Amino acid sequence: MPESENRFKGLGVSSGIGMGVAHVRESGAVTVPIYSIPASKVDAELGRLKKAATLSRHQINQIRTKSKEGAAAEELGYLLDAYIHMLKDSRLVRGAERRIAEDHLNAEGAVQAEVAEIGDAFAALDDPYIAARFDDIRAVTNRLLLNLTKGAQRPIALVPKGSVIVAEELSPADTALLDPHRVAGIATQLGGPQSHSAIMARALGLPAVLGTPGLLDCVNPGDHIIVDGDKGTVVINPTAATLASYKTRHEKDLRETRLLARLRKQPAVTRDGTEIDLQANVELPIELDMVKQAGASGIGLLRSEFMFMNRESLPDEDEQYEALISLVKPMGGRSVTVRTLDIGADKTTAALMGDFGASTTSPLGLRGIRLSLTCPDILETQFRAILRAGAEGTVRILLPMVSSVSEVRRARDILDQAARNLKRRGVPFADPLPPVGVMIEVPSAALAADSLAQYSDFFALGSNDLTMYTLAIDRSDDQVAHLFDHLHPAVLRLIQFSAEAALRARIPVSICGEMAGDPRYTALLLGLGFRELSMTASSIPRVKKRIRDVDLIAADHRARVIMDQVDSGRIATLLDDFNALA
Ligand code: PEP
Ligand code: MG
């Protein structure tokens, strides 16, 4: 155990203590895509796997030929023979083939899932010799994955169990690939608390510290590392005393989580008996179990980008339908609000980068509905998939990044076209058509909320982007993170105006930005009139606890006092004082 340790200060963006071994990711490296494939693509995917396995065997054979001489040649020969065998007829290859054929996983996802299962079986034996043999399997798998992904990617998802991912930056696409059972935490040099990567880390329950200057200069692969997502601290090679104190805190956190979980069956009602609807935000299908555990009344925001990230081509209607149905059906009639593609800014897809380049990476460029209306075929395909899923459950459609009424009108025309197409083909779809709602997340939408309400069946308030665009602060940039402030009077006025416009037009209004999942804001949001909140599933118990302590008349009154203020510092004090009374 070292006598001195290295401590770094960053932005704690996802709470909890993560302890493990540093897996340092080289800058610019890409990761392995996982997605489901339609039945019609199974043979092609099996063919891809076969081709990559053949190429891998060929490469290893070449290494074998080159290394026929030298002291270690014999030993190496045995090892390389074993590698070649693993790529021919082994549990790895057979298991991956079965996952492609039966689970309809893409080849990379199938290889990854299989090797993860083999790794778990090896780990269960708790034998250092066997554990070392797993390194061989990992080496073969990495080669196979590199060949499957044409050498462009490095398999971050294959990290050993208990790894802490250390990187300059993680994109949302990278984060989407992390396996929460293998990863203990995340520490990066860049990135802000409202970035989509931070949101995903919270959704996956991974403690994370982003925006940590100097981190990469002092960490080496294999170092022991602690990520404290509550305090924003990263400790490299902790001393025995530090380790012991973090272990105690970690156990305390676990006890608290267990206590909060007891609230699952309790209703989300205020002290004076008003029921509040608590729904879940979902960015990855893997979160579904957590949604059920948290007792969410529905999915209030399904970020559909997961179907488009980490791939070269766009998903077709069948593929999207199958991905959606895997979420809609298990919700058993509870509503699923599917947001149409919100690619752009920090969320990118290789399939569209070629056509639109830098505009899709600018927060002011072709993002959300703007991109969808520029490529109506993409939107119509997505609508068809949503409408089909709507025949087997309850869905709502949500349009992101809307800034004018004309965008809603055009999107509705495309939706009608999608319905006509399905009718002509005799494919069952939601009848009547699902409600179409609008994200209020850019200032123009908030300021035109009364007009938008005439064309929308519901509003969902996106406080992340509304704060970013109102204050002109990039939510992914750690340098300006300290200026990002939901309590800025300008932001609160836009939120209030939008909520009141919805209430006047008698359409439902929810809030699904990160404000909704932070109990600090709960009383204020209730005071501003919100009765539907949608958040990361793991935040539901904490917010429910706060709701059960709130007296609505008092919250209403405090919200009015707050809305008269001009200074966000004063607003923060008024809010925190009110919360402290609970
Ligand atoms: C928001 O902007 O508040 C929102 C919920 O959407 P996203 O975080 O996906 O941009
Ligand atoms: Mg948004």
CA distances from 435 to 266, 337, 451, 500, 506 (A): 29, 9, 17, 20, 14
pLDDT exceeds 80 at position 34: no
Q: Ligand 1, from 341, 347, 370, 464: best to mutate by most atoms within 8 Å of Cβ?
A: 464
pLDDT exceeds 50 at position 421: yes
- Select from 236, 238, 227 the least CA-distant residue to 186: 227
Q: Is the CB of 463 under 6 A from ligand 1?
A: yes
Does residue 540 contact residue 278 with C-beta atoms inside 8 Å?
Answer: yes
Q: Is the CB of 462 under 6 A from ligand 1?
A: yes
Cα–Cα distance, 534 to 536 (Å, whole number): 7
Specify which of 78-82, 180-184, 493-497 reaches the highest per-range mean pLDDT: 493-497
pLDDT digits (tens, 9 = 90+) for 47-61: 999 988 988 888 788
Q: Determine the pLDDT at residue 66.
A: 64
| Strand arrangement of the beta sheet that strand 233-236 belongs to | 6-9, 233-236, 224-228, 17-24, 163-167, 183-188, 208-210, 11-14
Residue whose CA is at the smallest distance from ligand 1 atom 1? 462
pLDDT digits (tens, 9 = 90+) for 509-556: 999 999 999 999 999 999 999 999 999 999 999 999 999 999 999 999
Which one is catalytic: 104, 486, 488, 512?
512
Helices and strands, number each (H, E), in the chain: 23, 16
Percent above pLDDT 90 for the chain:
70
Cα–Cα distance, 573 to 579 (Å, whole number): 10
> Residue 500 belongs to what H/E stretch?
helix 489-505
Cα–Cα distance, 513 to 175 (Å, whole number): 19
Q: Determine the pLDDT at residue 353.
A: 65
Q: Ligand 1, from 337, 441, 470: best to mutate by most atoms within 8 Å of Cβ?
A: 441
| Lowest model confidence (mean pLDDT) among 50-64, 164-178, 329-343 | 50-64
Cα(364) to centroid of ligand 1, in Å? Answer: 14
Assign 189 a pLDDT band (cuts: 50, 70, 90).
Answer: very high
Token duo for residue 280: 């879940």
Q: Determine the pLDDT at residue 308.
A: 92
Q: Determine the pLDDT at residue 120.
A: 85
Backbone angles phi, psi at 176, to 5 degrees: -65, -20
Q: Determine the pLDDT at residue 67.
A: 62
Average pLDDT over residues 206-212: 96
Specify which of 46-55, 158-167, 171-180, 390-399 reaches the highest per-range mean pLDDT: 390-399
Residue 196 annotated as catalytic: yes
Assign 134 a pLDDT band (cuts: 50, 70, 90).
Answer: confident
Average pLDDT over residues 286-307: 95
Strand partners, 436: 397
Q: Is the CB of 344 under 6 A from ligand 1?
A: no
Average pLDDT over residues 411-422: 98
Q: Determine the pLDDT at residue 417.
A: 98
Average pLDDT over residues 401-417: 98
CA distances from 190 to 14, 46, 154, 208, 396 (A): 15, 38, 20, 12, 35
Domains annotated on the chain, with CATH: 31-148 (1.10.274.10), 156-257 (3.50.30.10), 270-580 (3.20.20.60)
Q: Where are the beta strands (DSSP E) in 431-553?
A: 436-440, 458-461, 509-511, 532-536
Which atom of ligand 1 has the smallest separation from the CA of 199? 8
Q: Determine the pLDDT at residue 151.
A: 46
Q: Determine the pLDDT at residue 204.
A: 93
| Lowest model confidence (mean pLDDT) among 141-150, 176-185, 467-476 | 141-150
Assign 30 a pLDDT band (cuts: 50, 70, 90).
Answer: very low
Residue whose CA is at the smallest distance from ligand 1 atom 4? 462
Which atom of ligand 1 has the smallest separation from the CA of 194? 8
pLDDT exceeds 50 at position 326: yes
Kindly report the number of other CB atoms within 10 A of residue 516's CB atom.
27
Average pLDDT over residues 122-137: 79
Q: Determine the pLDDT at residue 550.
A: 98
Q: For the chain, give the mean pLDDT.
A: 91
Cα–Cα distance, 398 to 381 (Å, whole number): 15
Average pLDDT over residues 151-178: 80
Token duo for residue 414: 């495309």
Which one is catalytic: 104, 196, 486, 488?
196
Q: What is the DSSP string of 23-48?
A: EEPPTT-------B--GGGHHHHHHH
| pTM reported for the whole predicted model | 0.79
pLDDT digits (tens, 9 = 90+) for 383-398: 999 999 999 999 999 9
pLDDT digits (tens, 9 = 90+) for 250-275: 999 999 989 988 888 899 999 999 99
Which atom of ligand 1 has the smallest separation from the CA of 301? 5
Average pLDDT over residues 10-33: 82
Q: What is the DSSP string of 249-310?
A: HHHHHHHHHHHHHGGGGS--B-TT--B-EEEEEESSGGGHHHHHHHT-SSEEEEEGGGGTSS
pLDDT digits (tens, 9 = 90+) for 227-248: 999 999 999 999 999 999 999 9
Token duo for residue 510: 């929810």
Percent above pLDDT 70 for the chain:
95
Residue 218 annotated as catalytic: no
pLDDT exceeds 50 at position 28: no
Average pLDDT over residues 358-367: 85
pLDDT exceeds 70 at position 70: no
Q: Determine the pLDDT at residue 152.
A: 43
Q: Where are the beta strands (DSSP E) in 15-101?
A: 17-24
Q: Determine the pLDDT at residue 352.
A: 76
Q: Is the CB of 163 under 6 A from ligand 1?
A: no
Cα–Cα distance, 206 to 188 (Å, whole number): 13
pLDDT digits (tens, 9 = 90+) for 447-487: 999 999 999 999 999 999 999 999 999 999 999 999 999 99
pLDDT exceeds 60 at position 155: no
